Amino acid sequence: MTHEEHHAAKTLGIGKAIAVLTSGGDAQGMNAAVRAVVRVGIFTGARVFFVHEGYQGLVDGGDHIREATWESVSMMLQLGGTVIGSARCKDFREREGRLRAAYNLVKRGITNLCVIGGDGSLTGADTFRSEWSDLLNDLQKAGKITDEEATKSSYLNIVGLVGSIDNDFCGTDMTIGTDSALHRIIEIVDAITTTAQSHQRTFVLEVMGRHCGYLALVTSLSCGADWVFIPECPPDDDWEEHLCRRLSETRTRGSRLNIIIVAEGAIDKNGKSITSEDIKNLVVKRLGYDTRVTVLGHVQRGGTPSAFDRILGSRMGVEAVMALLEGTPDTPACVVSLSGNQAVRLPLMECVQVTKDVTKAMDEKKFDEAMKLRGRSFMNNWEVYKLLAHVRPPVSKSGSHTVAVMNVGAPAAGMNAAVRSTVRIGLIQGNRVLVVHDGFEGLAKGQIEEAGWSYVGGWTGQGGSKLGTKRTLPKKSFEQISANITKFNIQGLVIIGGFEAYTGGLELMEGRKQFDELCIPFVVIPATVSNNVPGSDFSIGADTALNTICTTCDRIKQSAAGTKRRVFIIETMGGYCGYLATMAGLAAGADAAYIFEEPFTIRDLQANVEHLVQKMKTTVKRGLVLRNEKCNENYTTDFIFNLYSEEGKGIFDSRKNVLGHMQQGGSPTPFDRNFATKMGAKAMNWMSGKIKESYRNGRIFANTPDSGCVLGMRKRALVFQPVTELKDQTDFEHRIPKEQWWLKLRPILKILAKYEIDLDTSDHAHLEHINRKRSGEAAV
């Protein structure tokens, strides 16, 4: 994007008007999207209107359509549901209702409509758009609008954002609200687990999802459930036998509880519904287990949005405004969605069509097709679930390989989930799996033991590192490490950890020249709250840390809003990597986020103080500033606090908070559990293949660059990259990758905080087509 172009962003909306409405079932994160649409709209010079109560407000007009101001969306980010209200609307389904809606828009000069809702709401919007010119003709004929008004509003632009907790919309990896719904479900599963273990109970949990099993499927992966029932993939005809056998096997392996997850739309092969009560009665009758049913219901829609949903909503909101203002009469109505971590635009009706195709396929009992249409990400979840829940580990270990698993670096939530799936997939493949305690130090000292299936039971939801983790690097103990590799016959190494895991991997590569024993395949799975491992856009643990920071910031904002005229300066972790500070800034609505990657001077600090002084004159009398722990060695948290205190005298007072190690703790979020589980499974599958490839004259000898990799998520897929190739992409002094994708989100943070800057949308989303995207979709 050229310089002229993004200067144009500030004037793109002049003379235009945008209306934003939320429709259908509510979803957490809708408010973040509304806030972003309002603020970015105003930033571009457009007028923005709230439509209260969804399409009903559009039809009723009057006070339901009100102009929004910058301040009117303040404090909205952390609220669940939708502040502007949503209603099921019969009137809009009739042409008469749409005629009234068109009249209300034309009279206000609104020609851009942003609809946040599920597929029904978006389909309605498309109908409205296709009828627009006919509706105007009718209004003109009836003398309700003038010719001039009709010319001014000759075409209607529509952009949709998918807000739905079911994640049932095809074409988008995640819909707004899905992640938050998973947070609610997992909180409950964790709570139930403790009571079930006390009484050796079986719990049947019913989650939402009439036509889509996404919530049920991801929940079962995230809590290691024994069984999941989803509408897309009905169980085989003898499922009752299979289920009961599975439950009693889990008990004989020493587990004190069983968890069964049911989507509300679960069915068998004949399309007959399978209810949670059916399952409970079956278990009680055949096995006599103490069985309880919990139906989660509307809890799943409630609560505060997760960090992921706030960032998703904000990013989608920005993209929606751009898509609207760049629209012409010829651009089709589009949906702004997320693929991997990229914003994309897709033709609205293509997405609606595929979403309908899924339901149709299920009605026609073409279940394989339904699964395929859901996309690769869904298929991957299903494959991993089937492996972990339905395959029995072989009894004999003949022809098996020995793989060791370890944690390196600082603890991160989700490490245990990664260890669990690595160990279990290894056992399913018939391998012998060893666990190493205390990182490379333990590998040198021989703190190594064999892990069976139940060794890692219940690990998915546990924070920290159960194996113990150290920052020690391997180089100075190569001799002891080599001796132990021989002693324990280790043929492959899975290293789960942060930047040290990666540098440790590089040292192992170097060591291969001197020590033949080190010529075994290894793979690094990035797990660190800092998200600073080269070769991956995300690392396990960062999402959990982000939510921890977010929760704290919400509480601090509440305190600041109560006292008025108060500015909080909060220090986050991350080493030199500004990921946590930037993303938490976006998710918590910070006024500024100081990071190392974007150098700042005393003039910038002065501008920030001045900005807050101006803000205190508005109705929003509070400020929130984040500072990454190593963003600048001289402008410390204390320095910035002192500067703000001095400059703000008489206008605002300042407080500081260092969040510290709470950011490494806590129970892992659903994203981290699921991500870790899939990374572990993928790493182990790769490992088995690599060991077989490296077999030379009766022993393992791996000496190629591609036998030592980092498994990372890049844009839309999980990829293995040789550690040696990542060397050039690394700034070793500051322990960060040289290029980081999230830096492109920084301008959004500033615009949403009312800075007059250039919106460089160089990471511009172009219209893609959904069927093309299917094949290359994220494998996460």
629 is in an annotated binding site: yes
Q: Record the tokens describing residue 92, joined without a space.
A: 């809009």
Q: Which residues pair with 717 in a beta bridge?
A: 714
Q: Running along the chain, 780 residues long, what does each successive block of 10 average in pLDDT? A: 53 92 92 96 96 96 96 90 90 95 96 93 91 95 94 94 88 89 94 86 93 94 93 93 92 88 94 95 95 91 93 95 92 88 88 89 91 88 90 74 96 97 95 97 97 92 95 96 97 97 98 96 98 97 96 88 88 97 95 96 94 90 94 96 94 93 92 96 95 85 94 90 97 97 93 75 60 41
pLDDT of 177 reads 94
Cα 221 to the center of its chain, rounded Å: 15
List the domain boundaries for the chain: 17-175+305-359, 178-300, 402-540+670-725, 544-664
Q: Record the tokens describing residue 741, joined without a space.
A: 């994708």
**pTM metric for this prediction:** 0.93
In angstroms, the CA 485 to CA 439 distance is 14
pLDDT of 757 reads 64
514 is in an annotated binding site: no
17-175+305-359 and 178-300, same CATH topology: yes
Locate all alpha helices (DSSP H) within 271-347, ordered by sequence: 276-287, 307-326
208 is in an annotated binding site: yes
Catalytic residue among 60, 126, 166, 309: 166
The one-character DSSP state at 767 is B
532 is in an annotated binding site: yes
Q: Report the CATH architecture of 178-300.
A: 3-Layer(aba) Sandwich (3.40)
246 is in an annotated binding site: no
pLDDT of 768 reads 73
292 is in an annotated binding site: yes
pLDDT of 579 reads 97
pLDDT of 254 reads 82
The one-character DSSP state at 536 is -
pLDDT of 389 reads 86
pLDDT of 560 reads 80
528 is in an annotated binding site: yes
3-state SS, one letter per residue, for 687-741: HHHHHHHCEECCEECCCCHHHEEEEEEECCEEEEEEHHHHHHHEECCCCEECCCH
In angstroms, the CA 629 to CA 758 distance is 27
299 is in an annotated binding site: yes
Identify whether 166 is a catalytic site residue.
yes
Q: What is the DSSP string of 419-477?
A: HHHHHHHHHHTT-EEEEESSHHHHHHHT-EEE--GGGGTT-TT--S-TT--B---SGGG
288 is in an annotated binding site: no
663 is in an annotated binding site: yes
575 is in an annotated binding site: yes
Task: Provide the CATH topology of domain 402-540+670-725.
Answer: Rossmann fold (3.40.50)
The alpha-carbon radius of gyration of the chain (Å, integer) is 27
268 is in an annotated binding site: no
pLDDT of 773 reads 42
CATH classification (class only), 544-664 = alpha beta
What letters, b where the CB count within 10 A reaches 16 and e where it falls short, cover 355-382? beebbebbeeeebebbbbbbbbbbbbbb
pLDDT of 760 reads 52
Q: Record the tokens describing residue 556, joined without a space.
A: 């601090």
In angstroms, the CA 614 to CA 199 distance is 59
- Residue pair 507/699 in contact by the 8 Å Cβ criterion: no
> Which residue from 248, 231, 255 is spatially nearest to 283, judged by alpha carbons?
248
660 is in an annotated binding site: no
- Extract the runs of DSSP E, i.e. beta strands, from 127-201: 157-162
Q: What is 17-175+305-359's CATH number?
A: 3.40.50.450
The one-character DSSP state at 410 is S
201 is in an annotated binding site: yes
pLDDT of 1 reads 40
pLDDT of 10 reads 81
- Residue pair 417/680 in contact by the 8 Å Cβ criterion: yes
661 is in an annotated binding site: yes
Q: Which residues pair with 656 in a beta bridge?
A: 569
Question: Containing H/E element for 141?
Answer: helix 119-141
